[in-house]
């Protein structure tokens, strides 16, 4: 029955009746992806499409996604090109939903809060899952949490607009947002900061919904515990913050 989550017999929690497209950009997520897809079905329900954009993962994540036999899942296997931002943009452009959602496939971000985020689209254009909204928390290791907090502090200072979690990467939004702004398909978390800043400057309404981000318990982290890598990441993000401001004309 339309409006029911497969296998639950319950009405879709989002309750909008509009097609929701969830875009998952993956690389070596074979271990976590099936559970993420199960969780998306359980919490968002139908009408739903899940677009998996995989960068030809050595662990054959694309094969695991296709092997689920789930008619709501579409798999795009990219070869010869890699990158989170460009993979997400490919999925966004090939999706069909009036509601667009994307987040990491590593089970660190909580699909169970997506229905409430979707409901908040009733009076917002974009809703982001936020570690820094009241009630949210970054519960990862000290180095990761500190780096992210420092980056967000700089973004808040330079870019403004009251956005607390500028590099969240956890979002639901109305498709018509794409008429006003598209993600720049370069970078990792940096693309999200520029996307949010441009959206805010163009008058789109952005709300934040709190959640707690934890360390992953399965699979392999794409990050590195190396302090020099953290420093390099922070510098790269800082540069992108100032580039976003300059592109906007100061």
- Give the model confidence (pLDDT) of 160-185 as tens digits: 999 999 999 999 999 999 999 999 99
What pLDDT, in 10s, does the model give residues 41-55?
999 988 999 999 999
Judge if pTM exceeds 0.95. no
- The topology under which CATH files domain 20-247 is Spore Coat Polysaccharide Biosynthesis Protein SpsA; Chain A (3.90.550)
User: Which pair of structure tokens corresponds to residue 167?
Assistant: 């590099």
The pLDDT-based confidence of 142 (bands split at 50, 70, 90) is confident
Task: Flag whether pLDDT at 216 surpasses 70.
Answer: no
State mean pLDDT over 35-44: 94
Cβ contacts of 14 within 8 Å, gap of 6 or more = 20, 44, 45, 99, 114, 115, 118, 119
Position 225 scores a pLDDT of: 52
Examine the pLDDT at 20 and tell me if it is beyond 60: yes
The pLDDT, as a whole number, for residue 16 is: 65
Mean pLDDT of all residues belonging to the chain: 87
Backbone angles phi, psi at 213, to 5 degrees: -95, 130
pLDDT value at residue 9: 37
In which band, very low, low, confident or very high, does the pLDDT at 235 lie, cut at 50, 70 and 90? confident
Q: Is the pLDDT of residue 153 over 50?
A: yes
Q: What element of type H or E holds 85?
A: helix 84-94
pLDDT of residue 211: 94
Q: What is the pLDDT of residue 214?
A: 86
In tens, the pLDDT along 187-208 reads: 888 899 999 999 999 999 999 9
What are the sequence ranges of the domains in the chain?
Answer: 20-247
Mean pLDDT of 126-133: 96
Does residue 187 sit in helix, strand or coil? coil
Please tell me the distance from the alpha carbon of residue 75 to that of residue 91, in angstroms, as a whole number. Answer: 9
> 11 by DSSP, 3-state: which?
strand
Q: What is the mean pLDDT of residues 235-244?
A: 87
More confident site: 55 or 109: 55
pLDDT band at 58 (very low <50, low <70, confident <90, very high): very high
**Local structure of residue 24 (DSSP, 8 states):** E
**Tell me, what's the pLDDT at 12?**
46
For 73-105, write each residue's pLDDT tens digit: 999 999 999 999 999 999 999 999 999 999 999
| Statement: residue 212 has pLDDT above 90 | yes
Higher pLDDT, 9 or 39: 39
CA atoms in the 13 A half-sphere facing the CB of 140: 20
């Amino acid at each position: 029955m339309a409006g029911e989550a497969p296998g639950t017999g319950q009405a879709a929690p989002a309750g909008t009746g509009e097609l929701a497209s969830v875009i998952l950009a993956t690389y070596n997520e074979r271990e976590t992806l099936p559970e993420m897809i199960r969780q998306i079905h359980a919490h968002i329900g139908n009408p739903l499409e899940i677009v998996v954009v995989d960068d030809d993962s050595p662990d054959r994540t694309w094969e695991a996604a296709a092997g689920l036999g789930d008619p709501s899942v579409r798999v795009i296997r990219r070869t010869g090109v890699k990158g989170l931002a460009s993979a997400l943009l490919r999925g966004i452009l090939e999706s069909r939903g009036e509601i667009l959602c994307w987040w990491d496939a590593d089970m660190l971000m909580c699909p169970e809060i997506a229905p409430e985020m979707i409901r908040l689209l009733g009076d917002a254009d974009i809703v982001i899952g936020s570690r820094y909204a009241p009630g949210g928390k970054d519960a990862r290791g000290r180095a990761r949490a500190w780096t992210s907090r420092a980056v967000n502090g700089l973004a808040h200072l330079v870019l403004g607009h009251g956005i607390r979690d500028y590099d969240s990467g956890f979002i639901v939004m109305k498709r018509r947002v794409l008429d006003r702004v598209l993600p720049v398909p370069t970078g990792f978390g940096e693309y999200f900061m520029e996307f949010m800043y441009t959206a805010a400057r163009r008058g789109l309404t952005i709300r934040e919904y709190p959640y707690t981000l934890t360390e992953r318990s399965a699979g392999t982290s794409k990050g590195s515990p190396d302090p020099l890598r953290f420093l390099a990441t922070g510098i790269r993000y800082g540069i992108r913050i100032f580039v976003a401001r300059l592109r906007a004309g100061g």
